[in-house]
Structure formats: structure tokens, C-alpha cells
Amino acid sequence: MEVKTLQVGPIGTNCYLLCDPAEKRCAVIDPGGDAGAVAAAVERSGCAPCAILLTHGHYDHTGGVTELSARWPEVPVYLNRRDQSAADMYLAQLFPPVDGAQNYDEGDILTVGSLAVTVLATPGHSEGSVTLRCGDALFCGDTLFAGSCGRTDFPGGSIKKIMASLRRLGSLEGDLIVYPGHMEPSRLDRERRDNPFLLQAMRTAESGV
């Protein structure tokens, strides 16, 4: 497994290429913009794209999908249905429609070459936020950041739900690698030690509140 990171779009969203160099297949996670640069990175990797995986439906994570889908019409796009099909204009700015997106949800397993990617529903930043796990890598979108967590003041956000999601991620075994939707990567042990939001979420679990 190889992970390549690109920063794309208007606010520097992390777009990840999850590659299986053995089978020369890759998934593109959160192509939030700069589709040309994303496609060039995929080409350089020598891997054929087999899926576009979205951690949630915010525009800064999905902005490059339309152009990439035009280049790769056979490549499926996955987005949890709770972040699809915004009903009104205001929501449609935050959650632009992603044409042809297929739903994925808790417990689904996708394959990228010989790699297995498991979907964990981690709502809170948005209703349809998911974390994608592949081996010891966690692609958290805007649920967990190094030293912080995602905002919950957008439509569909919930502080209660993101705390439950952080508690869930913090309870995973092992010093997993955290690949967030913005800023630098981290390790789960470091976050369990230093991240005030994760610490609060874990304390809430202990006290049962």
C-alpha cells in the first residue's frame, strides 16, 4: 500500500491517492479540485484509478469529481447518501450534487487491487461523513484533524455525533496513521495523548455521559 498526498482546491484540501503498487490500481480520496493535477498524479503513479471515494459531500472535497468522472467514465464514485442531493439552494452550495454517486455506508468493504477499504460511519461534521480504513491507515475527512476536529456548525453538523465518532476512532486498536481532510497527518496514539477533542470524547465515554 502506498499513499500519496496532494493539496487541492480553494482551501487546500488533502486529496489522497491510495495505491496498490502490486496490482497497479488506485483509489482517489476527496479530489476537492484541481482535477488536472489529480489526474496527472494518478498517471505518474502508474496505477489505474478504480474508485473515487468521498469522505463527505462538502464542495471542497468533491470539486474535482465532475471533471475526473468525464475523464474516467467507468470509475465509480462513492458518497454516503446522507450527504447527497441537497434540497435547497443554500445547501447545494455546501453540498453540490455529485452526479452518479453511489451510496456507501457503515461496514461496506471496497477493494482497490488487493487492498480492502472498510467504511466507518463517523457523522458529526456532516450527517454523511465517513472514515475509510485501509490496513493501518485512516482517512478521516473532516472528522479528526491533527490536534483538532471538524466544525459542527454547518447544516447537518452535530457536536454530539462528532464526539461519538471521535470516541469511536479513539477506541480503535493500534497506533494507526491518521490522514485528515486538511493539514498534516498524525498518528492515533499522538491524538489520544494530545488532541483535546479526542480526550474530551474519551472522557465522556468513561463517565457514561
To Zn ion, the closest distance from the beta carbon of 208 in angstroms equals 30
To Zn ion, the closest distance from the beta carbon of 193 in angstroms equals 25
Binding residues for Zn ion, rule: CB under 5 A, are 58, 142
Q: Is the CB of 113 or the CB of 181 nearer to Zn ion?
A: 181
To Zn ion, the closest distance from the beta carbon of 88 in angstroms equals 18
Q: Which H or E run contains 190?
A: helix 188-194
Sheet holding 115-121, edge to edge: 109-112, 115-121, 130-134, 137-141, 177-180, 186-187
Q: Is the CB of 113 or the CB of 150 nearer to Zn ion?
A: 150
Per DSSP, the residues of 71-124 read: H-TTS-EE--GGGS---SHHHHHHS---TTPBP--TT-EEEETTEEEEEEE--S
Q: Which residue is nearest to Zn ion (CB)?
A: 58
Q: Is the CB of 25 or the CB of 58 nearer to Zn ion?
A: 58
To Zn ion, the closest distance from the beta carbon of 142 in angstroms equals 4
Q: Is the CB of 153 or the CB of 206 nearer to Zn ion?
A: 153
